[in-house]
Every structure is written in C-alpha cells, then in structure tokens.
A and B are shown apart, each in its own frame.
Chain A
Amino acid sequence: SQQGEEDPQALSIQEGENATMNCSYKTSINNLQWYRQNSGRGLVHLILIRSNEREKHSGRLRVTLDTSKKSSSLLITASRAADTASYFCATDWRTSGSRLTFGEGTQLTVNP
C-alpha cells in the first residue's frame, strides 16, 4: 500500500503547549499536504509543502519535510482548545496523477 503512516495515533495536551505530529510515506512524492478534520465534518486544507522544500510556516503551523527519510512533521505552536481535531497528511506521487493518498491520522485533543 502507498498509504502513509502517522504517529502518534492520538495526542492529548494542555492548551498553550505545542503539538507535534509525524507522517511517513513509502514512495517518492511530488507534494505533501496536511489536512484537519473536525468530528463529523469534511477535511480542511492546512498547508502544502513541495518535495524540493524542507520547511514551511503558516501562522502557528510549521511543517518540515525530509525526503531522504520519507517523513514529514506538523508542529502546532501555542495550541488552543479549538485545535482539537484529527490531522491527516496526504501525498501525491509522480505516477499517481491527481489522487491523494492519506495517512491514518492523528487525533489531537487540546484540553482547556
């Protein structure tokens, strides 16, 4: 399977703390994206990082990509209760066309 893996599967932290989620994948990729999903809702795009980029920032989000290790991390700084959600990484690779392959997700709980 081309599907990536994410760890941890679940993460529980206090408001104000940082949250780090990791994603690994199996094939060479074009791009890696992170999405958030609140319970019962669709996915919301957070950030896209290209295979030739190593780090990207967007507000409180920081994404890193290590293509040699086929891994990425998502850091959320100064977390808020509203950040509670499931977070998924998704990749597309050279022979996949436009389809995205999602990881199994990390369930983040931020306690007030």
Chain B
Amino acid sequence: GAGVSQSPRYKVAKRGQDVALRCDPISGHVSLFWYQQALGQGPEFLTYFQNEAQLDKSGLPSDRFFAERPEGSVSTLKIQRTQQEDSAVYLCASSLQGLAAREQFFGPGTRLTVL
C-alpha cells in the first residue's frame, strides 16, 4: 500500500483480555517502531525493529507487552491481560533505514479502550 496501515482501528477489550494489534509498514522499510499515545500527550516509544530483529524494547511498560516482526515486514503488538491503564492509541511507524535521522511514517493508530 501507499502508507502504513494498522488494524483494527478501534478495539474495545474487557479487563483481563488479550489483544493483538497489527501493523503493515511501507513496503521496503527496514525499521519499524511502536509508540503509545495517551490522550492529550505526545507519543511514547515502546519498541523498535530493524528487519526481524527487535533491537530496542526498553519502552515496553511491562512483561504483558510483547511485539514481533517474524518476517521483517508485518508486525504485531500483543498485550496480555489488559488493564485499564493500557487504554491509549497505539501508533506504528516505519522508516527506510535504521538511522533515526530519517523521517518516520506513521499509521493512523489503533485506539484501545479497556473497560
């Protein structure tokens, strides 16, 4: 596709449920990033992949959060045993190279609401 796509766009989960959020980056983009954006705040870094390698996962808030990119293209962010504080917009971004100096292209985000 022409841009980064994410699905679903909206997800409502009951507390304790597991959720999986998908990101399709721009074809050929080596780097993929996940960010979490709370209402009224700027995005906060969660994790970063270069191809299939997860090079930085220091931003994941707990061991309930897990991300993968097994074939170096599509990525999935999984949240186990969701809590209310997990409610946020989850943004995926990709960039052409591994260097942060490149602009990042963002998807529209998945809005997660945990009841």
Take A30-B100, A42-B109, A97-B48 as given contacts and tell me if A102 and B42 are in contact as well, using a CB distance cutoff of 8 Å: yes
**Cβ-based interface call for B98 (8 A):** yes
The answer to whether B106 and A96 have CB atoms under 8 Å apart is: no
In angstroms, how far is the closest chain A Cβ from the Cβ of B46? 9
Q: Which of A35, A100, A104 has the most CB of B within 10 A?
A: A100
Q: Is B79 among interface residues, defined by CB-CB distance under 8 A?
A: no
- In the complex, whether B18 has a CB less than 8 A from a CB of chain A is no
Asked if A41 is at the interface (CB within 8 A of a chain B CB), the reply is: yes
Is residue A45 contacting chain B, with contact meaning CB distance below 8 A? yes
Q: How many residues of A contact B (CB 8 A)?
A: 26
Q: Are A41 and B59 in contact (CB under 8 A)?
A: no
A99 and B59 within 8 A (CB): yes
Within 8 A of B (CB), among A90-112: 90, 92, 96-105
Tally B residues with Cβ within 8 Å of A: 29
**Chain B proximity mask over A60-83: 1 for CB below 8 Å, otherwise 0:** 000000000000000000000000
Cβ contacts A to B, 11 pairs, < 8 Å: A43-B104, A48-B101, A48-B103, A97-B55, A97-B100, A98-B31, A98-B48, A98-B99, A99-B33, A99-B45, A99-B100
Chain B interface residues toward A at CB < 8 A: 4, 31, 33, 35, 40-45, 48, 50, 55-56, 59, 91, 93, 95, 98-101, 103-109
Distance in angstroms between the alpha carbons of A104 and B93 in the assembled complex: 18
Flag if A42 contacts B108 (CB, 8 Å): yes
**Residue in A closest to B4 when the chains form the complex, CB atoms:** A42
A100 and B100 contact, CB distance less than 8 A: yes
Closest approach, in angstroms, between the C-beta of B111 and any C-beta of chain A? 8
Most buried by B among A40, A92, A97, A99: A99
User: Once the chains bind, are B33 and A43 in contact (CB under 8 Å)?
Assistant: no
Residue of B nearest to A96 (CB): B100
In the assembled complex, A50 has its CB within 8 A of some CB on chain B: yes
Q: How far is the CA of A88 from the CA of B100 in the complex (A)?
A: 16
State the 4 A-B residue pairs at the shortest beta-carbon distance, nearest first.
A102-B42, A42-B106, A92-B100, A45-B103
